[in-house]
Amino acid sequence: MAHWSRFEKELELETRRLISHFTSIQDEEDQNFQMALKFAWSNFKFHRFLDVNRHNVQRSINGIHEKLMVHSDLSKAESWLRLTEEFLSSPLPNTEGTKSDVHYSVVALLLHLSDSPSNTNYCERPRLKETEKEDKFDWAKYLMEGEDIDTGPFPDTPEWSEDESEEEDSQQPLSREDSGIQVDRTPQEDHEQNDKTPSVNEMGESDSRAWLEQHIVTSYWVPNSPRFPHSLHLHSNLYNVWDQHLYNTGPLYLPEEKSFFTETQVIRETLWLFSGVKKLFIFQHNDGKVTVRNDVVVTHLTNNCLHSVLEHIAAYGQAVSRLQKFIDEVTGHSAEPCPPGLNSSSSSSSSKKSSDPPFRTYQAFVWALYKYFTSFKEELNTIEKDVIAKDETVTLSSVLERLSPHLAQITMLHRVFCIGVADVPPGTPNVLRASHLLNTLYKAIIEYDSVGEASEQSVALLFSLWVETVRPYLEIVDEWIVHGHLFDPAKEFIIQRNKDVPVNHRDFWYATYTLYSVSETVESEERLSDAASGSSGGEQASSSRQHTMVSFLKPVLKQIIMAGKSMQLLRNLDCKETAQPDDAERKSLYTLFLESVQTRLWHGEESPTNTVTKQQATKKSLIKMQSIVARHLELDDIHDPLLAINFARLYLEQNDFHEKFSVGNVILDRSSESVTCQTFELTLRSCLYPHIERRYIECCGNLMRTLKKDYRLLGYLQAMRNYFLLEAGDTMYDFYTAIFDKVLEKESWQQLAFLNVQLQEAVGQRQPEDSNRLSIFLETIDPARKKQPVNNLDGLTLSYKVPWPVDIVMSSECQKIYNQVFLLLLQIKWAKYSLDTLRFSDLTVAAKTQEGGQSEESTAKEPINQQIHRMFLLRVKLMHFVNSLHNYIMTRILHSTGLEFQHQVQEAKDLDQLIKIHYRYLSTIHDRCLLREKVSFVKEAIMKVLNLVLIFSDRWQAGFGAWKIESIDKMESDFKNCHMFLVTILNKAVCRGSFPHLESLALSLMAGFEQC
């Protein structure tokens, strides 16, 4: 089993090698690789091929020979026969014997793979057999050399370095070329070097020549460059030892051509790579990827070891080069055309690119990155200087160690860059890109921040990056909330102005700005608030996109929008009062933000010392306290020193305890408030938000003041209540009684001219300034609804022309609601009026005349007096009902809600709030006047009663005898039903406690009902 599994494992390994060799996919996790592996396995394991038949193979060999002969490729044919024969009789690595099945299967494989052998030019290469010998010679020398040194006078020779073997000078018979490193020459190389320096043989020049050769770098980048000479010490030949070992153990191991390096060269190339140089030898750039050359070798490390280190470096180098490329692209230094990812929104032509407004957020980000890279390059420079100075040994690992904090930061930056910039799909609008970048940075800060002190450096770096990157945003916000002008040419801010809505338009407040949310799709923009959706529009919209917008602005977004819009509105209101803030003296939001961040961080650093002194102070005070206690004890005639000492000790202990306790606190404080900007959000809250908040209060307060003072906002609100809600009782009384009288006299009142004249007369007398704003309209309504007399008034609409900018608050939607209430009020007033104007004499007189005429007939049923009395009673009941309804609506609802509303309006901070208050007020009165759909059955019952009232008064007017006694019965029972229904419903509602305002109506109706 074990054997089987090992065999299986080897097979697996070989298969993987095969695949990676043929597909050149190195990553075994790659999906394609796995697919290939599966395919290969299924073929190997479940193939349905015949086993190799050696006769068939032999026949094929002969066939090919014949074919070559036919093609008169004599030499080829001869080679073919000879080579196959030779191969079949040679040993294979793991197979015993010759001419085995394996031999034949290998030949069969080649035959299967062969691709028209007769059509290719082939000439046999003479096979070299000298490699073995040469290597042997070398290795004897190497090993001898190693033993020599080990047993020699310098057993403690340090590891090889460039300036190491100066002292071995005299011992070494071989000449040295480069700063005293021994020469390891193959004869061939020797020859080459001799070729190079044939002419310089003079004594005087040879010195300088030697100096030059010592100080010049061998041109390792040229193929087949001479190997630099190096020590023969065992330590510095690890590569060769290992190579030889591989060669000895694996018959299939192929020695490859390698380029040899010194470690210094590798270090230098590494430093260059980090500083953004692209043309390097060890590291190669292929479309943005940095790869390590395969044939790079240092003598004292094995290939794999060096590679694993270099791959690591290459990964960092790739990050650096990617960031560098991004910087170049944004600053416009790049000579290459931009990649599709970054510039696809604009066309690739540079002329157009330059005409596009600059994308300031990326620019700011790049500026921050650039600053970081400057410091990083300084560090690289110092390292390179150290390498040049040769004062101390600089090894690759020491360089990496030294750079490790920087490299960690670069990895982090690269990660942020990848998520925030590179992963953004092409064609994304700037606003998404900008806010995505800011969000990524913000998230990264919070993420690293939560790790605590371990990532202080990272957080500090990210924070500075963020502070730089956020600058354009804050400047846009600043410009907007201070000057009321949203200056954002590259369209990167999350809020954008809709150009088609002028400032002095009614929809300005709602439709002017679009808030872009950063989410998956590009189309996911939403209107900040929709005028049609009424009061709750803004809130709904903002709650649904919580996760998508720039998160750091979220807590103050509303304020920013409010302040910005208010400021813009204010600018357009051309009011003289708002003095322009002096631009020269005013600090921009960004400066303010920076200042407060600085003071906060400074405070954070200072605070520990403060607390320490405070502690000392408390200690002193406690000691003082002790003496005071002692004195107190003395005052109380207790001269007990022991007690005093005990007290003192007690205090001291407490003091100690306190001290320990507070020391812990201090440490806590330090970690939470130092430069790490722990509690990043707190920092923002204390440094950024207050400034915005202050500006917001200022702007909105200004706007509210202006609107109230210069634009008589409150006056208009009052006017709406006056006319629509009939608060100006006398004025409106004149108006509606005129209509009611007309109806009473059965004349047509539905003429626009008549109505308007009445209205103007009524209003013009008392409030002449409003008379030209008010007008009345008649809407045509379908005749089906006109059946009931109470619906006669339907279609009567009052309109009040509200000037800009007050119409932002009082929109036409508001007027619609006002009109609904207005209509209800008119209906109640009408019922009340028609009941009030009934005269008893009408009935009694008519009754008397009738009594004389038709006494005989009517006595049969009921005495007339009794009928009249019933009419009187019904009238009183109806009056009670109508009056209680009237009272309820006019006083209990409209008046008290109006008072509440006025109070809230006074306290409203910004325009949005004011609009909301107004809408809330309207919806409240709408609700309470039972106009809501949900309680329409109540309203219907009320309407029925009002209708009844109108019919009743109609009949009353018509006089006794114009109706039958049954109709009184009918009216009585109808009224009773409706009344009962209403009382039950209202009582239920009141008992449930859900509508406290209904209580008075329910009570008064009930009172009327009980008396029935």
Least distance between other proteins and beta carbon 4 (Å): 12
Give the three-class secondary structure for 176.
strand
Instruction: Kindly tell me which of 85 and 741 has the beta carbon lying closer to other proteins.
Output: 85
Instruction: Kindly tell me which of 18 and 645 has the beta carbon lying closer to other proteins.
Output: 18
Residue 930 tokens read as 């039972």
Give the three-class secondary structure for 514.
strand
Instruction: Kindly tell me which of 22 and 602 has the beta carbon lying closer to other proteins.
Output: 22
Instruction: Kindly tell me which of 91 and 664 has the beta carbon lying closer to other proteins.
Output: 91
| Whole-angstrom distance, CA of residue 319 vs CA of residue 411 | 7
Residues in the chain: 1012
Instruction: Kindly tell me which of 88 and 518 has the beta carbon lying closer to other proteins.
Output: 88
Instruction: Kindly tell me which of 69 and 531 has the beta carbon lying closer to other proteins.
Output: 69
| Whole-angstrom distance, CA of residue 270 vs CA of residue 273 | 5
* Phi and psi at residue 292, to the nearest 5°: -100, 135
Residue 502 tokens read as 């002028």
Burial bucket for residue 588 (CB in 10 Å: 0-12, 13-18, 19+)? middle
One DSSP character per residue, 25-62 reads ---TT-HHHHHHHHHHHHHHHS--PPPP-HHHHHHHHH
Instruction: Kindly tell me which of 125 and 333 has the beta carbon lying closer to other proteins.
Output: 125
Least distance between other proteins and beta carbon 22 (Å): 4
Instruction: Kindly tell me which of 129 and 333 has the beta carbon lying closer to other proteins.
Output: 129
Instruction: Kindly tell me which of 92 and 675 has the beta carbon lying closer to other proteins.
Output: 92
Instruction: Kindly tell me which of 106 and 738 has the beta carbon lying closer to other proteins.
Output: 106
Give the three-class secondary structure for 893.
helix
| Whole-angstrom distance, CA of residue 717 vs CA of residue 809 | 9
591 membership: H or E segment, kind and range: helix 589-635
Instruction: Kindly tell me which of 345 and 967 has the beta carbon lying closer to other proteins.
Output: 345
Instruction: Kindly tell me which of 36 and 460 has the beta carbon lying closer to other proteins.
Output: 36
Least distance between other proteins and beta carbon 420 (Å): 24
* Phi and psi at residue 777, to the nearest 5°: -125, 155
Q: What is the DSSP letter of 526?
A: E
| Whole-angstrom distance, CA of residue 618 vs CA of residue 624 | 10
| Whole-angstrom distance, CA of residue 896 vs CA of residue 847 | 45
| Whole-angstrom distance, CA of residue 324 vs CA of residue 828 | 79
123: number of Cβ within 10 Å: 7
Least distance between other proteins and beta carbon 86 (Å): 5
Instruction: Kindly tell me which of 116 and 199 has the beta carbon lying closer to other proteins.
Output: 116
Least distance between other proteins and beta carbon 933 (Å): 59
Least distance between other proteins and beta carbon 329 (Å): 18
Least distance between other proteins and beta carbon 83 (Å): 5
Instruction: Kindly tell me which of 49 and 661 has the beta carbon lying closer to other proteins.
Output: 49
- The CA-based diameter of the chain, rounded to the nearest angstrom, is 167
Q: Can you say whether the dihedral through the CA atoms of 549, 552, 554, 558 is positive or negative?
A: negative
Residue whose C-alpha is closest to residue 827's, from 739, 893, 937: 739
Least distance between other proteins and beta carbon 66 (Å): 15
Residues near other proteins, by CB under 8 A: 7, 10-11, 14-15, 17-19, 21-25, 32, 36, 39-40, 43-44, 47, 49-52, 64, 76, 79-80, 83-84, 86-87, 90-95, 102, 105-117, 119-120, 122, 124-125, 127, 129, 132, 136, 248, 251-252, 254, 287
Least distance between other proteins and beta carbon 328 (Å): 20
316: number of Cβ within 10 Å: 21
Residue whose C-alpha is closest to residue 317's, from 282, 381, 358, 270: 270
Least distance between other proteins and beta carbon 15 (Å): 7
Residue 440 tokens read as 């990524």
Say if CB 970 and CB 983 are below 8 A apart: no
| Whole-angstrom distance, CA of residue 257 vs CA of residue 254 | 10
Burial bucket for residue 530 (CB in 10 Å: 0-12, 13-18, 19+)? middle
Least distance between other proteins and beta carbon 65 (Å): 11
Say if CB 809 and CB 712 are below 8 A apart: no
Least distance between other proteins and beta carbon 104 (Å): 9
Instruction: Kindly tell me which of 28 and 606 has the beta carbon lying closer to other proteins.
Output: 28
Q: Can you say whether the dihedral through the CA atoms of 224, 226, 232, 233 is positive or negative?
A: negative
Least distance between other proteins and beta carbon 10 (Å): 7
Q: What is the DSSP letter of 285?
A: E
Instruction: Kindly tell me which of 52 and 980 has the beta carbon lying closer to other proteins.
Output: 52
Least distance between other proteins and beta carbon 69 (Å): 14
**Dihedral angle, C-alpha 900, 903, 907, 911, nearest 10 °:** 70
| Whole-angstrom distance, CA of residue 682 vs CA of residue 51 | 76
N-term to C-term CA, the chain: 105
| Whole-angstrom distance, CA of residue 844 vs CA of residue 869 | 10
Instruction: Kindly tell me which of 25 and 418 has the beta carbon lying closer to other proteins.
Output: 25
Least distance between other proteins and beta carbon 343 (Å): 16
Residue 537 tokens read as 């529009």
Q: Are strands 495-497 and 296-298 parallel, antiparallel or unpaired?
A: unpaired
Which residues face 289 on adjacent strands? 286
Least distance between other proteins and beta carbon 475 (Å): 39
Say if CB 491 and CB 522 are below 8 A apart: no
**Dihedral angle, C-alpha 95, 96, 99, 100, nearest 10 °:** -60
Least distance between other proteins and beta carbon 89 (Å): 9
Least distance between other proteins and beta carbon 119 (Å): 8
Instruction: Kindly tell me which of 119 and 780 has the beta carbon lying closer to other proteins.
Output: 119
One DSSP character per residue, 733-792 reads HHHHHHHHHHHHTT-----HHHHHHHHHHHHHHH-HHHHTTEEEEE----GGGGGSGGGG
